[in-house]
């Protein structure tokens, strides 16, 4: 087994596992960039809030005994000569400072005055104060307001070239030079502040000194873009990685304040996702997204339990203490409020104390009182602990233990005639189970030393008994005192396949461990490597669950072995699998058309499996027509998927020529399927057909939640590769979907999301990328999204689509399309960002085909891609009518006589074509082979505008201009408007939707106007 799978198995968090720490959560602000419009500075060591110090420049001093005070005498310094002098008092951002003259100099007597001496500290030392003692010279300064940028502000007097670094948030400033009467000055801002990006304007900046200090220069700073500040808490070691808008990455390895390098323009949105966490930490953000109106301050809470002793899910002896190591200093007193069923016999309060393992007081000792003990049974302790700074644990931590009332011990050196004590253990696991003669209290345990154990020794398999749990991984020669479950040193391995397995079926496979309907109390199996027979049986499984909901598999390494017609790591019939932190492999099967499945479920009664933080993989069969699947559901009843979270679910790479399917997660059937599937990494391996996630039944399953999606990938294939393959209406949101390359001599297909079967299809806020397809003898089809027969309540909104190339020899139907709709009803297609790919025949950003009537196409930004036959950002098939096309930006990659920004292959009349931006197309609209150009009022017309496409109210106000986006085209385009974008595009009045690609409820923008295209933009534009 590939032990790298253990990267997902750092801690058990039951029943709540916050997996957003590891899985991308896509936002509508995906891939937005503001670096073309704002100042970008990378801060290797982000500025702190102090300590900062105040210095003064003294000029013209002839006498002695000048005393200067800081903040009404908090500190005083004596000055006897010109120069620069520092106060030693440390100040922080937001502190006031006020420098005054306490005592004037004598011998000779002089009158010294302070310029720039009062204000509020921003981010930096204050060195913009001058004390002038020369009555014939004067200072140049004024007041500043609104300075917030951590990089400060630089002013320059162009008359003499003097510069001044200003770190005064608000207050007064002065250049540290003095000037004679009649001298001219010209002060301006030469370096604007950053983090946040600010625009500081100068008023009264130039003039002539006229017998007095200049104090009327005004510097007023306003923020145009703000930083995202992240304060990390609870990182003991390692690196936390956070991505903003799925583009810029911030890595954090120390606690404290950190900033993203790029500031976000005011009123744009941000979306943060944790894409990597330090080992054994669970990290959560105090906020993950929103609209920027000021500096965004986020807390990244990584305060976690790093280790458990005894290991979570294991055995706790009645008087044994728990030792929990945290990632930061823990407040033992706060843990007193922890809850759960881990209670003591005499009800004396549980004892919480701290000690040091790595960081001071990082380890919590949880013990019963000296005269007390734990109550026996399956127990849970839900921690409610804070660090010494008052930060709670980043996520709910439930610790599961069995406090056993009776124990039997098993060792590879034991004898089954022994009583099963720690000094005289038994040899076989089944013998130890049978020795209990049942366990009515439900809290018995078998502890097993490292070694090899044949499950077929008695009865052909280990048969579980209600209430008797099995714990492997005890280190030999320690008298069962050291438990090492992560090593899986206790191996349950069939030496030979039992004879009775020759009649095994898919509903009753041969297995190493069997739990059936007699298991009515909890049974935990933890710390084992479980592998079924080396010889073949028709159907083989590592663990077989038959009509029981009470078996918990925690932290095991399970291999289905070798079967003929089918093999499964875990095989569940009419059972509710409870799988946590396991590595599960389907094994291999040998017959043609056989299935190798990591977890197989089939039921005629409703189930709600608990599958958390596992690495699950199908096996690698080698025959013809074979299949590999990570998880397969083939039942007839309802399954709820909500508790399938945080797993790595994969199928293996198969021979693409001889295999049939390689599918990460396959739901073949069932009624009443429901729940939300989120927080998983699902990958379909290479095969004849590769699919990340397939659902072949009509369900109400939601793939991704409003806040958290999945990472779903398909690999290379012979005939077809699909990220998602869906039948019936589903909701698909906030997923990152990637798909591979299909190459065949026959028809070949590559599609990110394939949704057919009609119903309501909600596809929103997904990232869909990659995909290539090639056929050497037939049609090749490449789509980001393909939808068929979608109902009028369906919507495809806010998706990011960037796909590759299709090549089909001798086929005029070969097509690359960002979104392809077949016979849709009046669905909504809106706010999508589509960078279409290339084709050796047809390239269509949006493709609407077959006969239908009615469709709403609003606020999309689409490029056509490159095609040699038909190239268009919007294609309407013959017979399609009544499409409402408004507020889109449609861009043609290659402008030629045969291309158009809107291409209608038939005579169907549309409802509206208005307020669209058409760019780089000589032929703006082609309808039924007739070319239409823009006439008065932006109405498409032909025959020298004598035949308009429709009335101005429905077909007017279209624009034929360059949208001047950050990057109209390119390898990775950026469809964000810029200051060069026409105000006709960014300040439209045609209100249709409240949402935009870059935010919910952002239309109209704060400027009260509507931006055409997917992105709502509220900054400066070109009139």
Please determine, for residue 292, whether its predicted confidence score (pLDDT) is greater than 50. Answer: yes
Q: How far apart are CA 398 and CA 338, in angstroms?
A: 10
Q: CA distances (Å), 521 to each of 469, 603, 853, in order? A: 10, 20, 59
Q: How far apart are CA 719 and CA 743, in angstroms?
A: 6
Predicted pLDDT at 331: 96
Closest CA to 470 of 541, 375, 543, 416: 543
Once rounded to an integer, what is the mean pLDDT over residues 986-1012? 91
Q: CA distances (Å), 60 to each of 105, 176, 718, in order? A: 11, 12, 86
Q: Which two tokens stand for residue 145?
A: 């307001």
Per residue in 863-893, is it b (16+ CB within 10 Å) or e — as a string? bbbbbeebbbbbbbbeebbebbbbbbbbbbb
Please determine, for residue 123, whether its predicted confidence score (pLDDT) is greater than 90. Answer: no
The distance in angstroms from the start CA to the end CA of the chain is 64
Q: Please name the residues in contact with 644: beta carbons below 8 A apart, sequence gap of 6 or more.
A: 609, 611, 612, 631, 677, 680
Rounded to a whole number of angstroms, the CA Rg of the chain reads 35
Of 11-20, 533-542, 806-815, 912-921, the range with the lowest mean pLDDT is: 11-20
> Is the distance from CB of 722 to CB of 751 less than 8 angstroms?
yes
Which pLDDT tens digit goes with each residue over 922-932?
889 998 888 99
Which pLDDT tens digit goes with each residue over 657-715?
999 999 999 999 888 899 999 999 999 999 999 999 999 988 899 999 988 889 999 99
CB-count burial class (<10 Å; 0-12, 13-18, 19+) for 470: buried
Predicted pLDDT at 898: 80
DSSP H or E segment with residue 598: strand 595-602
Question: SS3 for 193?
Answer: coil
Full set of structural domains in the chain with CATH? 51-135 (2.60.40), 137-222 (2.60.40), 225-301 (2.60.40), 305-403 (2.60.40.1220)
Q: Please name the residues in contact with 109: beta carbons below 8 A apart, sequence gap of 6 or more.
A: 63
Which pLDDT tens digit goes with each residue over 830-885?
999 999 999 999 999 999 998 787 899 999 999 999 998 899 999 999 888 899 99
> Is the distance from CB of 913 to CB of 951 less than 8 angstroms?
no
Which pLDDT tens digit goes with each residue over 211-239?
999 999 999 988 878 889 999 999 999 99
Predicted pLDDT at 39: 22
Predicted pLDDT at 853: 78
Find out whether the peptide bond into 310 is cis, omega within 30 degrees of 0: yes
Once rounded to an integer, what is the mean pLDDT over residues 299-308? 95
Predicted pLDDT at 995: 93
Q: Which two tokens stand for residue 727?
A: 């039948």
The pairing of strands 256-259 and 113-115 is unpaired
Please determine, for residue 31, whether its predicted confidence score (pLDDT) is greater than 50. Answer: no
Predicted pLDDT at 875: 96
**DSSP character at residue 1015:** S
Question: SS3 for 630?
Answer: strand
Of 379-393, 480-494, 741-755, 896-910, the range with the lowest mean pLDDT is: 896-910
Of 86-90, 581-585, 606-610, 1015-1019, the range with the lowest mean pLDDT is: 1015-1019
Beta bridge partners of residue 537, listed in sequence order: none
Beta bridge partners of residue 808, listed in sequence order: 775
Predicted pLDDT at 642: 96
Please determine, for residue 19, whether its predicted confidence score (pLDDT) is greater than 50. Answer: no
Please determine, for residue 568, whether its predicted confidence score (pLDDT) is greater than 70. Answer: yes
Q: How far apart are CA 678 and CA 744, in angstroms?
A: 33
Predicted pLDDT at 810: 67
Predicted pLDDT at 902: 95
Of 364-368, 889-893, 1007-1011, 1019-1023, the range with the lowest mean pLDDT is: 1019-1023
Closest CA to 64 of 103, 117, 100: 103
Alpha helices (runs of H) in 400-511, residue ranges in sequence order: 429-435
Of 71-75, 454-458, 574-578, 679-683, the range with the lowest mean pLDDT is: 454-458
Predicted pLDDT at 227: 86
> Is the distance from CB of 494 to CB of 547 less than 8 angstroms?
no
Please determine, for residue 310, whether its predicted confidence score (pLDDT) is greater than 70. Answer: yes
Q: What mean pLDDT value characterizes the chain?
A: 90
Q: How far apart are CA 347 and CA 295, in angstroms?
A: 50
CB-count burial class (<10 Å; 0-12, 13-18, 19+) for 822: middle
Q: How far apart are CA 1023 and CA 1018, in angstroms?
A: 14
> Is the distance from CB of 214 to CB of 246 less than 8 angstroms?
no
Of 145 and 851, the structure prediction assigns the larger pLDDT to: 145
The phi and psi torsions of 423 (rounded to 5 degrees) equal: -95, -15
Closest CA to 774 of 722, 835, 840: 840
Q: How far apart are CA 35 and CA 260, in angstroms?
A: 12
Q: How far apart are CA 715 and CA 62, in angstroms?
A: 82
Q: Which two tokens stand for residue 814?
A: 């070969």
Predicted pLDDT at 16: 30
> Is the distance from CB of 271 to CB of 56 less than 8 angstroms?
no
Percent of the chain with pLDDT over 70: 95
Q: How far apart are CA 934 and CA 925, in angstroms?
A: 9
Q: How far apart are CA 876 and CA 855, in angstroms?
A: 11
Predicted pLDDT at 816: 96
The phi and psi torsions of 457 (rounded to 5 degrees) equal: -60, -35
Please determine, for residue 429, whether its predicted confidence score (pLDDT) is greater than 60. Answer: yes
**DSSP character at residue 798:** S
Once rounded to an integer, what is the mean pLDDT over residues 803-821? 91
Once rounded to an integer, what is the mean pLDDT over residues 12-37? 27
Predicted pLDDT at 199: 87
> Is the distance from CB of 485 to CB of 497 less than 8 angstroms?
no
- Laid out side by side, the sheet with 731-733 consists of 676-677, 702-703, 731-733, 762-764, 795-797, 828-830, 853-858, 881-886, 912-914
Closest CA to 627 of 584, 662, 590, 665: 662
DSSP H or E segment with residue 1021: none
Which pLDDT tens digit goes with each residue over 609-635?
999 999 999 999 988 999 999 999 999
Q: How far apart are CA 665 and CA 1019, in angstroms?
A: 44
Predicted pLDDT at 809: 79
Q: How far apart are CA 142 and CA 137, in angstroms?
A: 17
Number of H helices, E strands in the chain: 3, 95
Any idea which residue has 């990455």 for tokens?
249
Q: How far apart are CA 224 and CA 194, in angstroms?
A: 10
Per residue in 627-653, is it b (16+ CB within 10 Å) or e — as a string? bbbbbbbbbebbbbbbbbbbbbbbbbb
Q: Please name the residues in contact with 839: beta carbons below 8 A apart, sequence gap of 6 or more.
A: 782, 805, 806, 807, 814, 815, 816, 865, 866, 867, 868
Q: How far apart are CA 294 and CA 297, in angstroms?
A: 9
Any idea which residue has 């390119």 for tokens?
970
Query: Using alpha carbons only, what angle is made at residue 367 by residues 366 and 371, rounded to the nearest 5 degrees?
Result: 165
Please determine, for residue 593, whether its predicted confidence score (pLDDT) is greater than 60. Answer: yes
Predicted pLDDT at 1015: 92
Percent of the chain with pLDDT over 90: 77
DSSP H or E segment with residue 186: strand 184-191
Any idea which residue has 């709670």 for tokens?
392
Closest CA to 968 of 787, 795, 835, 785: 835
> Is the distance from CB of 976 to CB of 966 less than 8 angstroms?
yes
Three-state secondary structure of 760-793? CCEEECCEEEEEEEEECCCCEEEEEEEEECCCCC
């Amino acid at each position: 087994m590939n032990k790298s799978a253990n990267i997902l198995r750092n801690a058990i968090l039951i029943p709540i596992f916050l997996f957003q720490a590891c899985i991308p959560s896509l936002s509508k602000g995906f891939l937005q960039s503001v670096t073309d419009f704002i100042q970008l500075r990378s801060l290797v060591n982000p500025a702190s809030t102090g300590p900062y110090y105040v210095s003064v420049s003294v000029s013209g001093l002839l006498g002695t005994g000048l005393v200067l005070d800081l903040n009404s005498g908090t500190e005083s310094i004596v000055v006897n000569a010109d120069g620069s002098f520092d106060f030693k008092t440390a100040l922080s951002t937001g502190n006031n400072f006020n420098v005054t003259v306490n005592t004037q100099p004598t011998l000779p007597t002089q009158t010294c005055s302070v310029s720039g001496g009062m204000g509020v500290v921003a981010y930096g030392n204050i060195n913009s104060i001058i004390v002038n003692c020369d009555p014939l010279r004067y200072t140049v300064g004024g007041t500043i307001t609104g300075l917030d940028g951590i990089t400060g502000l630089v002013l320059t007097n162009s008359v003499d070239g003097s510069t001044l670094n200003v770190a005064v948030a608000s207050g007064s400033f002065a250049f540290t030079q003095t000037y004679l009467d009649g001298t001219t000055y010209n002060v301006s801002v030469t370096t604007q502040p950053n983090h946040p990006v600010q625009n500081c304007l100068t008023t009264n900046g130039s003039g002539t000194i006229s017998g007095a200090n200049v104090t009327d220069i005004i510097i007023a700073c306003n923020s145009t873009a703000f930083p995202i500040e992240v304060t990390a808490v609870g990182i003991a070691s390692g690196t936390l990685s956070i991505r903003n808008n799925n583009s810029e990455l911030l890595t954090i390895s120390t606690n404290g304040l950190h900033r993203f390098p790029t500031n976000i323009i005011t009123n744009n949105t941000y979306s943060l996702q944790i894409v990597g966490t330090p080992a054994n930490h669970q990290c959560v953000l105090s906020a993950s997204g929103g609209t920027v109106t000021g500096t965004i301050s986020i807390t990244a809470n990584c305060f976690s339990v790093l280790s458990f002793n005894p290991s979570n899910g294991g055995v706790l002896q009645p008087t044994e203490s728990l030792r929990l190591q945290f990632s930061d200093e823990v407040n033992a007193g706060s843990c007193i409020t922890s809850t759960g069923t881990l209670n003591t016999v005499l009800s004396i309060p549980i004892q919480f104390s701290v000690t040091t393992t790595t960081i001071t007081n990082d380890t919590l000792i949880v013990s019963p009182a000296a005269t007390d003990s734990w109550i026996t049974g399956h127990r849970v302790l839900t921690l409610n602990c804070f660090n010494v700074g008052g930060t709670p644990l980043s996520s709910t931590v439930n610790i599961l233990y069995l406090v056993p009332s009776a124990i039997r011990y098993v060792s590879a050196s034991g004898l089954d005639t022994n009583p099963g004590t720690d000094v005289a253990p038994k040899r076989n696991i089944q013998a130890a189970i049978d020795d209990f003669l049942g366990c009515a209290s439900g809290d018995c345990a078998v502890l097993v030393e490292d070694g090899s154990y044949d499950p077929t020794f008695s009865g052909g398999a280990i048969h579980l008994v209600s209430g008797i749990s099995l714990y492997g991984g005890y280190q030999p020669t320690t008298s069962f005192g050291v438990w090492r479950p992560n090593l899986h040193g206790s191996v349950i391995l069939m030496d030979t396949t039992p004879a009775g397995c020759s009649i095994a079926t898919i509903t009753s496979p041969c297995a190493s461990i069997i739990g059936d309907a007699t298991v009515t109390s909890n049974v935990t199996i933890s710390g084992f490597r479980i592998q079924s027979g080396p010889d073949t049986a028709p159907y083989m499984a590592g663990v077989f669950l038959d009509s029981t909901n009470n078996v918990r598999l925690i932290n095991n390494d399970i291999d289905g072995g070798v079967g003929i017609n089918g093999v499964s790591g875990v095989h569940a019939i009419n059972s509710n699998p409870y799988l946590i932190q396991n590595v599960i492999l389907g094994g291999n099967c040998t017959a043609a058309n056989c299935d190798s499945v990591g977890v197989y479920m089939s039921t005629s009664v409703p189930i709600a499996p608990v599958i958390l933080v596992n690495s699950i993989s199908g096996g690698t069969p080698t025959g013809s027509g074979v299949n590999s699947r990570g998880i397969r559901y083939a039942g007839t009843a309802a399954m709820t998927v909500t508790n399938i979270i945080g797993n790595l679910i994969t199928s293996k790479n198969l021979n693409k020529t001889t295999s049939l399917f390689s599918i990460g997660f396959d739901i073949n059937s069932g009624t009443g399927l429901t729940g939300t599937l989120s927080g998983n990494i699902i990958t379909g391996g290479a095969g004849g057909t590769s699919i990340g996630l397939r659902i072949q039944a009509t369900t109400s399953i939601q793939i991704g939640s409003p806040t958290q999606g999945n990472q779903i990938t398909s690999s290379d294939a012979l005939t077809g590769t699909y990220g998602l393959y869906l039948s019936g209406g589903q909701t698909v949101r906030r997923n990152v979907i990637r798909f591979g390359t299909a190459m065949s001599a026959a028809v070949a297909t590559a599609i990110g999301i394939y949704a057919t079967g009609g119903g309501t299809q909600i596809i929103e806020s997904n990232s869909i990328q990659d995909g290539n397809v090639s056929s050497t003898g037939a049609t090749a089809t490449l789509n980001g999204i393909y939808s068929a027969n979608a109902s009028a309540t369906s919507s495809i909104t806010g998706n990011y689509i960037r796909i590759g190339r299709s090549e089909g020899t001798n086929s005029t139907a070969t097509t690359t399309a960002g979104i392809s709709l077949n016979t849709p009803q009046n669905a909504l297609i809106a706010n999508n960002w589509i960078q279409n790919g290339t084709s050796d025949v047809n390239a269509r950003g949006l493709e609407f085909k077959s006969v239908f009537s009615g469709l709403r196409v609003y606020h999309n930004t689409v490029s056509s891609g490159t095609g040699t036959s038909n190239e268009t950002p919007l294609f309407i098939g013959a017979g399609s009518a009544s499409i409402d096309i408004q507020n889109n930006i449609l861009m043609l990659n290659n402008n030629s006589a045969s291309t158009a920004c809107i291409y209608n292959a038939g005579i169907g009349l549309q409802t509206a074509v208005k307020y669209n931006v058409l760019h780089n197309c000589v032929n703006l609209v082609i309808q039924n082979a007739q070319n239409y150009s823009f006439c008065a009022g932006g109405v498409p017309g032909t025959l020298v505008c004598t035949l308009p496409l429709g009335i101005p109210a429905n077909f007017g106000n279209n624009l034929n201009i360059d949208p001047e986006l950050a990057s109209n085209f390119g390898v990775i385009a950026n469809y964000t408007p810029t200051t060069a974008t026409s105000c006709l595009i960014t300040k439209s009045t045609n209100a249709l939707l409240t949402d935009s690609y870059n935010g919910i409820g952002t239309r109209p923008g704060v400027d009260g106007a509507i931006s055409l295209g997917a992105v709502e933009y509220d900054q400066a534009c070109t009139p």
